[in-house]
Amino acid sequence: MKLLVSVQNIVECTNAIEGNAAIIDIKNPREGALGACTPKTIKEIVKISHNFNSLCSAAIGDVQYAGNASLAALGAAMCGVDYIKVGLRTESASIAGSIMKEVVREVRNYKNFYGEKIKIVAVGFADWQRANTFPVEELYDIGLAGNCDVLMIDTAIKDGKNLFDFVKEKEISNFAGNFRKRMRKKKKFYNKTKKKNKKIKRFYVS
């Protein structure tokens, strides 16, 4: 298990590292559930975190449009983060899927500080009914369609209520289990297709 601590400035980052945080989560709650910090702040926190071997995630905002989201994600990738978190604040699961596809496409050629692939996190909301967003159970279809690396369920409105005020623990467990099964199937299909394509390529080359 890894400890993730949300921070919005260098002081909070330093305190989190001293507390042995494995992942420094950069976000600005004054701008939304997944509010973004400035590029300057993100770069400063990334530099400090990586000096102490902590990973960094950065929220890019509660987004509704693919253009805004993909541009913000590209900026976060250029700041050197390890994870990019996208708050999907839209009523349409179809639009959310399009947003994630564009985000993944824009950052797929960028690497983190360690030369590894930057992981993309799709965030849905447990309190979707009062936040007027898509039903949270549709998140794993969005994640699969967009080739996301991580799914996250949060609350959109921060008023003291938590995740389990809106979804039961069993529902979360089922959600995670279903997603893992579907990811395994997709990976198995991808590996088969990859092998098949390699054979075809060798056939044509020869």
Per-position DSSP letters for 18-54, written without gaps between them: HTT-SEEEE--GGG-TTPPPPHHHHHHHHHHHHHTT-
85 is catalytic: yes
Region of 70 (left: φ > 0; alpha: ψ -120 to 50; beta: rest) is alpha
Bridge partners for 117 per DSSP: 111
pLDDT 10s digit of each residue in the chain, 206 long? 889 999 999 999 999 999 999 999 999 999 999 999 999 999 999 999 999 999 999 999 999 999 999 999 999 999 999 999 999 999 999 999 999 999 999 999 899 888 899 999 999 999 999 999 999 999 989 998 888 999 999 999 999 999 999 999 888 888 888 777 776 776 665 555 555 444 433 333 22
186 is catalytic: no
Cα–Cα dist 206/126, whole Å: 54
CB atoms within 10 A of CB 125: 28
Contact yes or no for 88/99 (Cβ under 8 A): yes
Q: What is the pLDDT of residue 142?
A: 93
Structure tokens at 69: 């989201």
Between 10-18 and 39-51, two packed helices, what is the crossing angle to 10 degrees?
20
Cα–Cα dist 129/84, whole Å: 25
User: Which one of 40, 43, 47, 85 is the catalytic residue?
Assistant: 85
pTM, to two decimals: 0.86
User: Which one of 2, 27, 170, 188 is the catalytic residue?
Assistant: 27
29 CB-side CA count, 13 A:
10
Alpha-carbon distances of 23 from 10, 20, 45, 82, 140, rounded to whole Å? 14, 9, 11, 9, 23
Alpha-helix runs per DSSP H in 85-168 = 93-107, 128-131, 139-145
